[in-house]
Structure 1
Amino acid sequence: MSLLPLPAPAAPVPAPAAAPSPARLARAARITLTVLPLLLIGGWLLADRRSLYDGTARLAAAHPGWLLSAIVFTCLTWVASAVVRQGAIPERMPPLLLLASQFAAGAANHVLPASIGAHAVTLRFLRGQGVPLPRAAASLALYSVVKPIAKVFVLLALVLAAPELLRLDGLLPDTGTLLPATAVAVTALTALLLLLSLVRPLRHGCLGFLRTALTDARLLHTRPSRVLALWGGAVATPLVQAGVVASVGSALGLPLSWAQMVFAFLAASTAVGAVPAPGGIGPVDAALVFTMAAYGASLGQATATVIGYRVLTVWLPLVPGLLALSALVHRKLL
């Protein structure tokens, strides 16, 4: 009698892989965002090592007193930015955390163009402090509108106080330069209006945002402390930034007065500051060199001043700013 072979046991069916939990995904994203700024530090320093070396070498031989003045003005830029941010939101923010967020936002602003990085960091900070998204977005819009208006008023006040600053040969753009720029602006505005008129959801969203922004703006302007913070900080911001340029120019022996250097910075940043470059690097630098050269400074001296200004305002704070960004992300404040 033959025995039949027993059937082989069936192979176990593998259990389906469990989907990663939201908490695990959030932890992975937080670790990535914590490490990413450190990688950006290395990439930035590697890409700009020549300019960083030249600018540091020039600053090492500069006048120490004026150099210290430039560092003080650089620190005041973050304070002024934090004051404007507080003035643009009805809720009271923790002062030290708000200042830290602007320090981190300044570093992010030099990575992404058109202030996208700074606005993204500030938006995340406001949301983390419990500010509703419409109100947080409205505060960013108010901040973006008030700053250029205040800068123009500062520029006009400086011109009225010292009209001789406008006597620059060949500095103002000619018709051939203004016409294309005007045509581009008109085309962009027309396209935006056409898009809003054709896309109803976009139009309704924009109208809702505009109502929130106007309501908050009216509320803020009924509170003297917010008005002082918003407009006072917006006026102080370009002045302390110009103070960095003037201090660096004085430290390097630039043969221009403080009024000329301040006006050169205000005119250059107002004229080409809207160009979407990271932190305004590139267009503002070229315009600033050209304006200072128009006042009589040599191209070498003007370029050295701009490089020194960028070392103090971009490269020097970049590492601690990105480290602050990583720390705020790690503590779930962003």
Structure 2
Amino acid sequence: MTEAESLPATVGRRLYIQLGITLIALAAAGGMLAAHRATLDSGADRLAAADGEWLVLACVAAMATWVCAAVAQQGAVVERLPRGRLVAAQFAAGAANHLLPAGAGAAVVNLRFLTRCGLSTRRSATALAVKAAVGSIARCALGVALLVASPGTVRLSARVPHVLVLLPVTAAAVVLAVAISGRLRRVVGGTFADVRDVHRSPARACALWGGSVAFALLHAGVVVAVVHAIGMGLPVSRVVTAYLVASGAAALLPTPGGLGSLDAALALALTAAGAPGPEAVSTVLGYRLLTGWLPLAPGLLVLALLVRRSAL
């Protein structure tokens, strides 16, 4: 069997694996919701009585995330992209991201958009990889900065030093995998080359990093606004750190739009930061409502419109 013939089979197996993991994660999330039905009902009641002004602020922050995603995407490419369609594509990508696992929906929409704008498939894929890598680094850097600035935000347990030992081992395993695989070497080398090209232009570097940092902070801002809307008195630094930790943990589970994985991780992180169970559930419900459920139908309509106009 040639490489071209084996590629569809490999892609098919990968999709089946991702689908299986998604179904398992969603089933586990459903079981957790059923086991904590009373807490969920109490959280929904608290959200229904929340402060409307804070919820409006949270909604504005959620809408601003699409603009930040567009700015970061523009910074990852040399060509000037059409601004209106770029923002619309990020809105549509967010909706598609809630239908496919592991961010595949957003990646497909953005890949199609960039190729429609004249970029080759390889350069489009590399631009998406650069944006994703910078976004992950930005979240980690923000989390570390908050922990350094507020050492008491998270209380480390005695097990943490043992867990930290795994970090260099994991890094060594990744380096070894890249060194062994010629395909991975080429992909990583191309990504680093594009990263260097981005940083040769200060404007592109500022757009890429600034958009990525603002995107993470605005998502955290949605959580902060919802926390204030329900009258929970957690410090802002704790809430932001809880979101950054939860979003990083949820990225390890390929559920559509982080559904289930992000919800559970964020509720757990808020509880660990000092929030009572019902308030943590209310916060997660409010965050999910503003960033996922309400924009879903309009986002799919925008997606259909972009496809009809051959922008995707």
Per the normalisation by structure 2, the TM-score is: 0.79
Q: Which residue of 1 aligns with 2:121?
A: 133
Instruction: Please state if 1:151 is matched with 2:154.
Output: no
Q: Which residue of 1 aligns with 2:216?
A: 238
| C-alpha separation in 2, matches of 1:224 and 1:159 | 29
Q: Which residue of 2 aligns with 1:63?
A: 51
Structure 1 letter corresponding to 2:97: N
1:128-180 per-position Cα deviation (integer Å, ceiling 9, x unaligned): 011111111110110111111111111122122222212x36597585x7899
Q: Of 246, 254, 258, which residue of structure 2 is paired with 1:280?
A: 258
Measured after TM superposition, the shift of residue 237 of structure 1 is 1.2
Q: Which residue of 2 aligns with 1:292?
A: 270
Instruction: Please state if 1:254 is matched with 2:232.
Output: yes
Measured after TM superposition, the shift of residue 310 of structure 1 is 0.3
Measured after TM superposition, the shift of residue 252 of structure 1 is 1.0
Mapping of residues 79-118 of structure 1, within 5 Å: 79-118=67-106
- Largest Rg, 1 or 2: 1
Instruction: Please state if 1:320 is matched with 2:298.
Output: yes
Q: Quick one: structure 1 residues 163 and 87, their matched pair in 2 at CA, closer, same or farther if it must change by over 3 Å?
A: same
Q: Which residue of 2 aligns with 1:8?
A: none
Q: Alignment partner of 1:255: what SS?
A: coil
Q: Which residue of 1 aligns with 2:21?
A: none
| C-alpha separation in 1, matches of 2:311 and 2:227 | 38
Measured after TM superposition, the shift of residue 231 of structure 1 is 0.7
Q: Quick one: structure 1 residues 298 and 210, their matched pair in 2 at CA, closer, same or farther if it must change by over 3 Å?
A: closer
Q: Is the contact between residue 178 and residue 184 of structure 2 (CA under 8 Å) also seen in structure 1?
A: no
Measured after TM superposition, the shift of residue 220 of structure 1 is 1.7
Structure 1 letter corresponding to 2:243: F
Q: Is the contact between residue 220 and residue 227 of structure 1 (CA under 8 Å) also seen in structure 2?
A: yes
Instruction: Please state if 1:215 is matched with 2:215.
Output: no
Q: Alignment partner of 1:163: what SS?
A: coil
Q: Is the contact between residue 46 and residue 279 of structure 2 (CA under 8 Å) also seen in structure 1?
A: no
Structure 1 letter corresponding to 2:110: T
Identity of matched residues, %: 43
1:269-327 per-position Cα deviation (integer Å, ceiling 9, x unaligned): 12342321211222222222122112221111101110111011100000000111111
Per the normalisation by structure 1, the TM-score is: 0.74
Greater Cα offset, 128-137 or 99-108: 128-137
Q: Alignment partner of 1:104: what SS?
A: helix
Structure 1 letter corresponding to 2:301: L
1:226-245 per-position Cα deviation (integer Å, ceiling 9, x unaligned): 01100111111111000000
Q: Number of aligned pairs? A: 275
Q: Of Structure 1 and Structure 2, which has the larger fraction of its residues in helix?
A: 2
| C-alpha separation in 2, matches of 1:189 and 1:245 | 35
Q: Quick one: structure 1 residues 141 and 169, their matched pair in 2 at CA, closer, same or farther if it must change by over 3 Å?
A: closer
Q: Alignment partner of 1:164: what SS?
A: coil
| C-alpha separation in 1, matches of 2:57 and 2:309 | 33
Measured after TM superposition, the shift of residue 216 of structure 1 is 2.7
| C-alpha separation in 1, matches of 2:84 and 2:253 | 31
| C-alpha separation in 2, matches of 1:160 and 1:265 | 16
Mapping of residues 154-165 of structure 1, within 5 Å: 154-165=142-153
Gaps of 5+ in 2: 1-29
| C-alpha separation in 1, matches of 2:186 and 2:167 | 31
